Structure 1
Amino acid sequence: MDYNNLLFMDVEVFSDDDDDFYDGNYIEIRRPYTLRNKPNNLDVWDDDDFFRRFRLTKPTVNLLIIRVQNQLEVIWNRSRSLTPMNQLLLALRFYATGNFLRAVGDFSGVSIVTASRIVRKVSIVIASLRPDNIKMPRTQQEIESTKRGFFAMHGFPRVVGIVDGTHIRIQSPGGDNAELFRNRKGYFSINTQVTCDFNLKIIDIVARWPGSAHDATIFQHSSLKIHMEQNRFNNGILLGDSGYGLKNYLLTPLLHPNIPAEQCYNEVHIRTRNTIERVIGIWKRRFPVLSIGLRLKIETIQDIIVATAVLHNIARDEREEDPPGEIELDGVLGEVPQPIPNYNRNRMDNAVRQALIADYFSRYRRN
């Protein structure tokens, strides 16, 4: 299936829905103006209540506003200005609840039109922080530190990242291409490729493929694959589940381990790969909008996915506690990999895995 024309398309989702973002052609029927009080949410709530409502602590939000306030110009209306902090907290509330924009607007004292514009703008601004907050190890020191970090976890050598796909639920985008977004579980989604490190941070993310796209297809067309083939990570490897094709730089589990060394390889591979499941679980629990589902335009959903990944990493850097599991996560853990597309395979790829098993896991000792 050819997805190339879908990667950056502008699809209007739910153009007749209250919660859609409005473009410049929107004509609003004027109604009597109502003054709305805009609560100072930073002061209204104590630390615990604030964290539960916005999924970040006050100190982290104060650090974040310093980085984004210059790009969030003050919006003036008849009651009083909508400050950068007002705008940031409105967007965080949307990420934290997945509520309709009308409900988020009511919570923040603004109209649905204003709420939609703010969520979109704040998401773009936070997503623009991606280069500094979502990145693979670059220097020799960072690469070796990452390898040591993964090795210290369960003893798997040379790992620089773990890759997996997760589905971000959306409603049908409509139009001729809508069914491309229906995944194998039957709901509409964006299949998002996530790569993590041993610190539970997201170090690479691809959020532009429809739900029917296979994980291996996404990786096959990613810049991460190019970087791995260029050996930018000093002979480092990625770990992935059996839904990915085996490569000399992307190792997957053995489907039928026989000898003890192969069984040991699989066991350590699975234990190490569990890191990506933890990352996706924490990320979706912190920002439930990713699990509940998004009723927005595709390009805005993409910005929200990247923005929440940036915020996840900021939370990790600030040693924020993991959010409470208040919702049932949909399609996060324990998914059965799909059959692998028939990409060209090289016998050398399997030779690399077998050499690692023979050289290392045949003498591995469980802790």
Structure 2
Amino acid sequence: MSKMANMLTIIDNSDDSGDEFLMNVALRGRNAKIYRPREDHYAKWTDKEFFVRFRLTKETVLELLDLIREDLETSTDRSLSPMNQLLLTLRFYALGSLLISVGDFSGVHKSTASVIIKKVSLIIANLRPQFIHFPHTAADKKTNQVEFYSKNHFPRVVGAIDCTHIRIQSPGGDQAEVFRNRKGWFSLNVQTISDARMRFVDIVARWPGSAHDQNIFNNSRIKARFEMGEFGEGLILGDSGYALTPYLLTPLRNPLLPEENLY
């Protein structure tokens, strides 16, 4: 009798959108597992709410999903859809909290969410060569230099370089402290180069927070490419954390002349 009462309570508390859920109750019997239909998190939110939650527009999410959908397809109807796998991952990126992210996607266990986030992240990372690269054609290279000059009046510039710290939890172990940066928290020190439109054209994301910007650059492939003359007379701009070289321009430490101040 108590089982029947519980069943009726579940049915009474279900809204009109739970027809599929109620059908599962009727058809699968008392001892079968009951699966609620998955929410459509793409349609659920307005454009503004969606952007606040996932940090990307709906249009951008659709474009990204088209690129990775085949790798996210699953063989069971009860698994998260490719869209919800992507949105769960984006929600985690936005919050940095697995527990809160899982709480937004009912029926997803924490361990399952962790597997999904890792899988989706690796799939997205595999798109890197398609989107993160210096211009290939002569026309694109010229356009990039012209755009840099129109904004900053620096000739021959092909990129701007800097490092940024990405906060992480302590990795633990004997080497954990090498990830603590000069501000006192754990991070990865990530080197990036951007083009005139502020799009990444090169990324190095394998150094701990204690690594110095110059040391990261010295050990990067992009430095070797400039040293070998791959970019011709092309230049990159950096801050005073880098050493001045024929292809990497940095601020003058003590400018005196008008020309030096202008530079």
Fold shared by both chains (TM-score > 0.5): yes
38 and 105 in structure 1: CA distance in 2 versus 1, 3 angstrom threshold:
farther
Aligned to 1:61: 61
CA contact (8 A) 1:75 1:82 kept: no
Q: CA deviation at 1:177?
A: 0.6
| Aligned residues of 1:165 and 1:194 also touching (Cα < 8 A) | yes
Unaligned residue ranges in structure 2 (runs of 5+): 1-32
Q: Tell me if 1:177 matches 2:175.
A: yes
Secondary structure of the residue that 2:256 maps to in structure 1? coil
Which runs of 5 or more residues in structure 1 are unaligned?
A: 1-32, 266-367
> Which residue of structure 1 aligns with residue 9 of structure 2?
none
Q: Distance in 1 between matches of 2:168 and 2:96?
A: 11
Change (3 A) 1:139 1:163: same
Q: How far 1:36 sits from its partner (Å)?
A: 5.4
Counterpart selection for 2:112 from 111, 114, 123: 114
Q: Which residue of 2 aligns with 1:76?
A: 76
- Which protein, 1 or 2, shows the higher relative CO under an 8 Å CA cutoff with sep ≥ 6? 1
- Once the two structures are superposed, the pairs formed by residues 325-336 of structure 1 within 5 Å of their partners are none
Distance 1:190 1:181 in 2: 7
Cα deviation per residue 1:128-176 (whole Å; 9 max; x = unaligned)? 1000111112222121111101000021111100000111111211111
1:135 corresponds to which residue? 133
Matched residue type, 2:64: L
The SS at the match of 1:173 is coil
1:34 is displaced (CA, Å) by 7.6
Q: Give the direction of change, closer, same or farther, for the CA distance of 1:179–1:169 in structure 2 (3 Å limit).
A: same
Deviating beyond 4 angstroms after TM superposition, the runs of 4 or more aligned structure 1 residues are 33-37
The equivalent residue for 2:124 is 126
TM-score, with structure 1 as normaliser: 0.61
**Aligned residue among 101, 106, 125 for 1:104:** 101
Match of 1:212 among 204, 210, 216: 210
State the shift of 1:38 in Å.
2.7
Secondary structure class of the residue paired with 1:156: coil
Q: Which residue, out of 220, 223, 233, partners 1:222?
A: 220
SS at match of 1:143: helix
Q: Output one character per residue of 1:68-127: Cα deviation in whole Å (capped at 9) or x when no partner.
A: 0111131637xx23111110111011112222x122112112110111011100000001
Equivalent residues of 1:138, 1:233 under 8 A apart: no
Q: How does 1:303-318 map to 2 (within 5 A)?
A: none
| Residue identity opposite 1:105 in structure 2 | V
SS at match of 1:193: strand
Q: Alpha carbon RMSD of aligned pairs, Å?
A: 1.7
2:100 is paired with a residue whose SS is helix
Q: How many residues in Structure 1 have an aligned counterpart in Structure 2?
A: 231
Residues 1:75 and 1:82: Cα distance change in structure 2 (over 3 Å):
farther
Pair 1:253 & 2:247 matched:
no
Higher radius of gyration, 1 or 2: 2
- Separation (CA, whole Å) in 2 of partners of 1:253 and 1:53: 39
Query: CA offset at residue 245 of structure 1?
Result: 1.1
| SS, match of residue 189 in structure 2 | strand
Q: Distance in 1 between matches of 2:37 and 2:245?
A: 58
Displacement, 1:63? 1.6
Q: Secondary structure at the match of 1:68?
A: helix
Specify the SS of the correspondent of 2:207.
Answer: strand
Secondary structure in 1 matching 2:201: strand
- For residues 243 and 34 of structure 1, what CA distance do their matches in structure 2 show? 59
Q: Tell me the distance in 2 between the aligned counterparts of 1:106 and 1:39.
A: 13
Question: What is the one-letter code of the residue matched to 1:148?
Answer: V
